[in-house]
Amino acid sequence: MRERGLLMEEHKDLVLEAVAFTGETLAPFFLQDPKTGDAKEAFAAMAALDAAAAAAEWPFADEEEARRDLGLIAQGLANGIDDEALVWEYRRLFIGPAVKPAPPWGSVYTDRECVVFGKSTLELRAWMREQGIERLVDDKTPEDHIGLMLALMAWIAREKPEALDDFMRLHLLTWSSHFLGQLAEAAEQPFYEGLARLTKASLEGIQDELGLEVVYPRFYR
């Protein structure tokens, strides 16, 4: 029994490390401009990946799905991280000034008014306060930005794992698949299509691994 318990703890630690890896790896691509941001090394590392080999090791996602998604990512990076098509696609999807086809904030989808800093954002903020979790960015950036939530997922997996299930079940998984599906459809450059699909598959795989039951809200967008 003791040996079985040790094996279960070891598996739990491996799962938490894989969750952290997933969040840390994917978050920068939602947060950083390929050309002017602070994630050039992350973009370069992703461009250097062998898609087939990486897919075999990618956690939570089905290997065939991961191979297809990583292939799209590699295709999108084939002309380098300064490629104008890549840079402008990031700005079109996440910066503006035009209307974003798939805004990266959760409350845009779950709030009746489709606004940032909506009810679900405030609920996440209150939960973070209750858990003693500090904001990762300044007060002007909504906490429910998909990139920030992936980064927070990684931090929680490493630093406060007892809170991971509630964070995923109550705040991230409630809207992530809905948004990422829209982002994949809206993307006109293969990197961001692959990123959206890989992130969606990974988060759904984490949900399955953790055995989480999620109550999905009504979506207004």
Over range 6-32, report the average pLDDT.
Answer: 90
Q: Give the pLDDT confidence of 47-65 residue by residue, as tens digits.
A: 999 999 999 999 999 999 9
Identify residue 54 by its one-letter amino acid code: A
Give yes or no for a contact between 80 and 53, defined as CB atoms under 8 angstroms apart: no
Q: Give the pLDDT confidence of 77-133 residue by residue, as tens digits.
A: 999 988 999 999 999 999 988 999 999 999 999 999 999 999 999 999 999 999 999
Nearest to 78 by CA among 44, 104, 38: 44
CA distance 86 to 82: 7
Over range 66-86, report the average pLDDT.
Answer: 96
Q: How far is CA 200 from CA 44, 142, 150, 182, in A?
A: 22, 21, 11, 11
Structural domains of the chain, ranges and CATH numbers in brackets: 2-210 (1.10.3480.10)
> Which distant-in-sequence residues (6+ apart) come within 8 Å of 175 by Cβ?
106, 109, 110, 120, 217, 219
CA distance 153 to 168: 8
Give yes or no for a contact between 86 and 79, defined as CB atoms under 8 angstroms apart: yes
DSSP 161: G
Q: How many helices (DSSP H) and strands (DSSP E) are in the chain?
A: 11, 0
pLDDT reported for residue 135: 81
Please state, as a whole number, how many other Cβ atoms lie within 10 Å of the Cβ of residue 183: 25
**Maximal CA-CA distance, the chain:** 60
Q: Is 105 helix (H, G, I), strand (E, B) or coil?
A: strand
Tokens matching residue 178: 């809905």
Q: At 184, is the pLDDT very low, low, confident or very high (cuts 50, 70, 90)? A: very high
pLDDT reported for residue 2: 54
Over range 199-204, report the average pLDDT.
Answer: 98
Q: Give the pLDDT confidence of 134-170 residue by residue, as tens digits.
A: 887 767 789 999 999 999 999 999 999 999 999 999 9
CA distance 57 to 167: 25
Residue 97 preceded by cis peptide, ω within 30:
yes
pLDDT reported for residue 6: 45
Please state, as a whole number, how many other Cβ atoms lie within 10 Å of the Cβ of residue 187: 22
Q: Is 215 helix (H, G, I), strand (E, B) or coil?
A: coil
pTM score, whole prediction: 0.94
Element at 74 (helix H, strand E): helix 63-76
